[in-house]
Structure 1
Amino acid sequence: MEKLIPVELLEKYINGECTEAEISLVKKWYQSFEYDDDYISAISASEEKELEERIYNHILLKIGNIAEEEQIPEKLPYNFWRKWYTIAAAAAIILFAGVMVLYQQQQANLLQTADLNAKQLVSIANNSNQIYKATLPDNSSVWLSPHSKLTYPGMFNSKSRNVSISGECFFEVTKNPERPFIISSRSIITKVWGTSFLVNDNEESNKAEVSVLTGKVSVSIKKSDDGKQISTSLGKDEVMLYPHQKVIYLLEQHVLQPQSVVEEPALQIWKRADFSFENKPLKEIIPVLNAKFHVHIKAGDDKLNRYILNADMTGFNLPDVLEALKKSLNINYEIKANSIELE
């Protein structure tokens, strides 16, 4: 819509008193409505009703002023219609101005709501002996190992996706190069340039580790002022990691030590594999899982070994498999030291 024009100019146009330039301006203003955004469809029914009543009352007020000034004869003179066209034009201007103001208020409210959501932090503490899966606002997935903690905003901001952790968490991050994913833990900062990786930074340990399964990440030592603002670009003091690489941060020496590993044991359970079991007893399934994920799963009760499973587990990692066993066989599990016990 073009910029609103004065009511006086519309009245001149109705009276045929406009210059060629003024006529062109009025026509351009009128034609602009064809391509204007429909702001009314963006507001709620209650807001539309409120706006309608405000405009209607304003028009009634104008009509009331005319009625007080003069009696309307049976044969309506030209001046009467001129005033009514003027009122109609004014009402049109009031309508679009009112809708624009209401639309702008609605947009401001949406932005304010987004800011509030961004400031509201969500904290998840996994106090169990199982692995807990969380889904972030950008649909990224985080698996929290036992006794780990994850904190993230209710809505990520437009520049970056910042989370903080304590303990061990495995991430599968949704790609978005324009909004880097940044993880802050006790002693290190991890910036995500790829997809899946493991971060282990425990308050009770004298070291921290980051291991990459797919994609790439960069790791830097956390500084005292990192809580204020973390750069989203790659810094010269950051270590870049690629698949099957890891870095260890030694707390006492205050150094990062990159390492290349062919098979990182901590990553084995996060590798996705394809399984299909058709009427197989659990005692035959457990050895398959142990061999594939390099773990030690055992049944706490011998009767569990006779449970029969019929399932397609295509693209599952070990935590997904364990969750499927819980739901399909109605069993539970507990991570104990170097083993996983089904119960």
Structure 2
Amino acid sequence: MSDYNNDLIESLAEKLLEGTITEAEEAILEQWYNQRPVRKPEWELRDGSKDLLEARIYQGIKQNITPVKRMFPVWAKLAVAASVLIVSAIVYQIYFSSPKNQGIEQYSIAGVQGRIRKILLPDKSIVWLKGNSRLEYPSRFSDSTRNVVLEGEALFEVAKDHKHPFIIAAGNYLTKVVGTSFNIKEDHLLQSFKLTVLTGKVSISPRKINDRVSTLSHTVIISPGKEFDALNKTTPSVITAAQPTAKATVTQGTEYMMNFENTGFEEVKSRIEHKFDVVISSTNALYRNCELSADVTDQPLDKTLKVICAAIGANYTIINNKVTITGGGCN
């Protein structure tokens, strides 16, 4: 089948549907068809938004196909397959070439064994990529959902946005949230998957990849303090209470924990700068004697600054990656 290219086959399929194909061309098409397995076409793209789009395209076409009874069964199947392929390709090309999707780059970030890499996503979500894992995401989220792909393990602090659900494609599962924190650990070879929820609620659905099938048959909701665990492709998945040490384990080596107890202002300032990749400008003399007690774990930058500044009677402004704190202070 390697002797046939896609352009040739698509051209012959169009001629078949139009009734303009010659006997020689029909022989080529029949020979190609006999060399391929008879099955429905499968899309093997890894990006979550593309998966959903192509599924909608395929289902929409399939529902509007009227069987041609006078055609031989083989050619009926070929005509349906060819029409789905051609129309899906056209719609797919139009969608991803539209102005709103132009200029979007796809990033693939790889981690390093034994280290944790912080990634700030376009929506201000934070991902702590662990070891030699990999994360794929767009330069900006332009669809109705925020889609990323994970291979390996990562701790997520997802920015709250109820209008744009955050979806992670990892292993045999799709994890969906609107704003919460959780850890995902998946192993491609073992087909294992483990989710530890720290805050908020998380939904998990089965995800089919080629011939790999999830042990989960429906969507389940995982609450804080719970874990979803699938050891391999054959063992049924289970939902259990997380061990008391689970939170410390999955957050180790990250800057997830932001719980301050009688902590000096300068240290708090430094921790905020490092976690959110910002520069804070303030009058050191005003806050030199300030000690803060506040828990802003799993909070976005704006909420973190609001809590800290309220404690010292100050105000703040954010312009790009620069924060300015003024007023207030401690005696």
TM range (shorter): 0.3 to 0.5
CA radius of gyration, larger in? 1
| TM norm structure 2 | 0.45
Structure whose residues are more often helix by fraction: 1
| TM norm structure 1 | 0.43
